[in-house]
Amino acid sequence: MSDSFRVEVDHSVCAGHGRCYDLAPSVFEPDDDGFATVTGTSFGTDVLPELTAARRNCPEQAITVTPLEG
Applying CB under 6 A, the residues found at the interface with ligand F3S are 9, 14-20, 35-36, 58, 60, 62-63
- CA-based nearest residue to 66, from 55, 58, 57: 55
- DSSP H/E element including 54: helix 48-57
Give the residues across from 37 on adjacent strands: 29
Between CA 45 and CA 18 the distance in angstroms is: 22
**Shortest Cβ 4–ligand F3S spacing (Å):** 21
**Shortest Cβ 16–ligand F3S spacing (Å):** 5
Q: Which is nearer to ligand F3S, 34 or 44 (CB)?
A: 34
**Shortest Cβ 3–ligand F3S spacing (Å):** 24
